[in-house]
């Protein structure tokens, strides 16, 4: 419509969902569900506000703050806060839209939301970040609560920022409640939460391998290309190594590291990278100062890994949205990639997804099988939901208990996507089900069925 601002990221997310629904039997079997698409694609509430704060020089600074409360049919709004200069309403609407269906796939009682600010924490002192977080939460605290909206961290929002915002909320409201997840484990956080998205991603792709091989294949011995070097990429890499896989790439916004030998990254390398990223430094600094890295990797400035690996079995995009293009999708297939699961939200362009899906249909079990973000990376928000449960119980679960719950959630999510795709799509002999279609349909049906029960549409 001409009176609606152009929102490319949100419109891309909407198109992906709509195309899966329209291309399936869903609206033939349940035609009444089609009317809900126009309702579920509009947020219940969008909050936008200014954030004023002072830097260490006493100079006035102004940023934009947002919270998109997209859908509460299944529970309180749940989704991260992102601090990054690129943050805008289109990105947050796409993330909140995706979050709604992702949260539905976890099986937990959580709605969908997303928020953040165009504030850039890079180059800021701890005191500047603390002042910003208190100023940001001064307004956000009016709109959130443990039974209303429970934010978490995202890009630019780690344990430090979560701590400051939790402290601000507690100060303004004079009450301790599980209003934000990703907290420190000594004051209400859950064990395995930092690891959850990366671990869950590897659990999901492990089920893909097992199903495609009839239970015979695992990650052991596989060459795995991972993008990013933040929380998701680090823990996906560590879980891959634990299961016997070989991590051959990592990257950041300035370039990519590609293994030149058979060894790839080891756990010590990941630990060094984690320390580097905690200090908000780039991979190029580690590559230039560490002789071991120079001898085992090549660094490609300004590049992503996907067109720069000669041989690969599994790809795990774990950096940011639209990080795999149409050409890079073709390059991955040419390099032998058989499985791709997204650790980043909407990690592939629509054109790339069409390449994956065409290859899956054309080459059957020999083609590339695609695991979409809303299913493959739902482990992070799943453990956030488990953190909410622990807060409500005033209890703390063991690492083993949380990890067992996470593994079970990822397994159920995989089978839900798979069986839903089988139910609503006709498949040729030997063709693997479309997990992206299954995820979109399963998430959509669960959300809009709850909305109908609430009288949100009829």
Q: Quote the pLDDT of residue 374.
A: 96
Asked whether the beta carbons of 233 and 198 are under 8 A apart, the reply is: yes
Q: pLDDT (tens digit, 9 = 90+) per residue, 393-420?
A: 999 999 999 999 999 999 999 999 999 9
Pull the structure tokens for residue 140: 């956000």
Q: Taking a C-beta distance cutoff of 8 angstroms, is the pair 414, 269 a contact?
A: no
Long-range contacts made by residues 170-178, C-beta under 8 angstroms, separation at least 24?
171/134, 172/137, 172/138, 172/141, 173/141, 177/145, 177/146, 177/391, 178/146, 178/150, 178/387, 178/388, 178/391, 178/392
Examine the pLDDT at 1 and tell me if it is beyond 70.
Answer: no
Q: What confidence score (pLDDT) does residue 5 get?
A: 82
Catalytic residue of the set 78, 93, 102, 114: 114
CA angle 323, 241, 280 (to 5 degrees): 50
The encoded tokens of residue 46 equal 């969008």
- Predicted confidence at residue 340, as pLDDT, reads 98
Q: What is the DSSP code string of 23-48?
A: TSSHHHH-GGGGGHHHHHTS-SEEEE
The whole-chain average pLDDT of the chain stands at 96
What digits encode the pLDDT tens for the residues 367-379?
Answer: 999 999 999 999 9
Concerning whether 404 is annotated as a catalytic residue, the answer is no
Q: Note the maximum CA span of the chain.
A: 68
DSSP character string of 403-423: HHHHHHHHHHHHHHHHHHHHH
Structure tokens at 422: 């089988």
Question: Count of CB atoms within 10 A of residue 441's CB?
Answer: 27
235, with CB counted inside 10 A (0-12, 13-18, 19+), is buried
Residue entry with tokens 């033939």: 28
Closest CA to 449 of 62, 101, 19: 101
What percentage of the chain's residues is helix, strand, coil (to nearest 5)? 50, 15, 35
State the burial class of residue 67 (Cβ atoms within 10 Å of its Cβ: 0-12, 13-18, 19+): buried
Between the alpha carbon of residue 114 and those of residues 202, 262, 299, the distances in Å are 24, 40, 34
DSSP string, 151-207: EEE-TT--HHHHHHHHHHHHHHHT-----SSS--GGGT--TTTTTHHHHHHHHHHHH
Q: How many helices (H) and strands (E) does the chain have?
A: 17, 12
Under the banding of pLDDT at 50, 70 and 90, the label for residue 280 is: confident
How many angstroms separate the CA atoms of 233 and 212, rounded?
A: 24
Backbone phi, psi, residue 257, to 5°: -105, 125
Query: Are the CB atoms for 13 and 346 separated by under 8 Å?
Result: yes
pLDDT (mean) for 281-288 = 93
Q: What is the mean pLDDT of residues 120-149?
A: 97
Which stretch of DSSP H or E encloses residue 326?
helix 326-334
Once rounded to an integer, what is the mean pLDDT over residues 70-96? Answer: 97
* pLDDT per position as a tens digit, 24-81: 999 999 999 999 999 999 999 999 999 999 999 999 999 999 999 999 999 999 999 9
Distance CA 454, CA 452 (A): 5
Question: Per-residue pLDDT tens for 298-318?
Answer: 999 999 999 999 999 999 999
Q: How far lies 102's CA from each of 87, 111, 277, 440, in Å?
A: 21, 9, 27, 9
């Amino acid at each position: 419509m001409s009176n609606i601002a152009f929102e490319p990221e949100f419109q891309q997310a909407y198109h992906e969902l709509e195309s899966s629904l329209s291309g399936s039997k869903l609206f033939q079997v349940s035609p009444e569900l089609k009317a809900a698409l126009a309702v579920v694609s509009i947020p219940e509430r969008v909050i936008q506000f200014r954030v004023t704060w002072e830097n260490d020089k006493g100079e006035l600074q102004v940023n934009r703050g947002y919270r998109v409360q997209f859908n509460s049919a299944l529970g309180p709004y749940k989704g991260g806060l992102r601090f990054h200069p690129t943050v805008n309403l289109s990105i947050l609407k796409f993330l909140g839209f995706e979050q709604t269906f992702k949260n539905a796939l976890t099986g937990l009682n959580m709605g969908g939301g997303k928020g953040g600010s165009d504030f850039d924490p890079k180059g800021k002192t701890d005191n500047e970040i603390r002042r910003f977080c208190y100023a940001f939460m001064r307004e956000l605290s009016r709109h959130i609560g443990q039974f209303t909206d429970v934010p978490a961290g995202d890009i630019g929002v780690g344990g430090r920022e979560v701590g400051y915002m939790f402290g601000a909320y507690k100060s303004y409201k004079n009450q301790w409640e599980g209003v934000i997840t990703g907290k420190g484990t000594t004051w209400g956080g859950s064990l395995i939460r930092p690891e959850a998205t990366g671990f869950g991603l590897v659990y999901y792709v492990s089920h893909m391998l097992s199903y495609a091989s009839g239970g015979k294949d695992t990650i052991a011995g596989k060459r795995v290309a991972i993008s990013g070097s933040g929380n998701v990429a680090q823990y996906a890499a560590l879980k891959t190594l634990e299961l016997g896989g070989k991590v051959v790439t990592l990257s950041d916004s300035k370039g990519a590291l590609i293994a030149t030998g058979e060894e790839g990254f080891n756990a010590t390398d990941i630990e060094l990278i984690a320390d580097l990223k905690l200090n908000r430094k780039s991979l190029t600094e580690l590559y230039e100062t560490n002789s071991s890295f120079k001898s085992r990797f090549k660094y490609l400035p300004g590049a992503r890994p996907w067109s720069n690996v000669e041989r690969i079995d599994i790809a795990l995009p774990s950096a940011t949205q639209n990080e795999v293009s149409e050409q890079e999708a073709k390059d991955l297939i040419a390099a032998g990639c058989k499985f791709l699961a997204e650790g980043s939200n909407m990690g592939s362009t629509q054109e790339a997804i069409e390449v994956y899906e065409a290859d899956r249909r054309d080459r059957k079990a020999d083609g590339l099988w695609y695991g979409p973000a809303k299913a493959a990376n739902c482990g992070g928000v799943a453990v956030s939901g488990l953190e909410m449960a622990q807060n409500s119980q005033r209890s703390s679960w063991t690492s083993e208990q949380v990890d067992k719950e996470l593994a079970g959630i990822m397994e159920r999510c995989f089978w839900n996507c798979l069986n839903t795709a089988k139910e609503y799509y006709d498949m040729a002999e030997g063709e693997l089900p479309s997990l992206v279609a299954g995820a979109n349909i399963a998430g959509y049906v669960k959300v809009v069925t709850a909305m109908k029960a609430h009288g949100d549409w009829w």
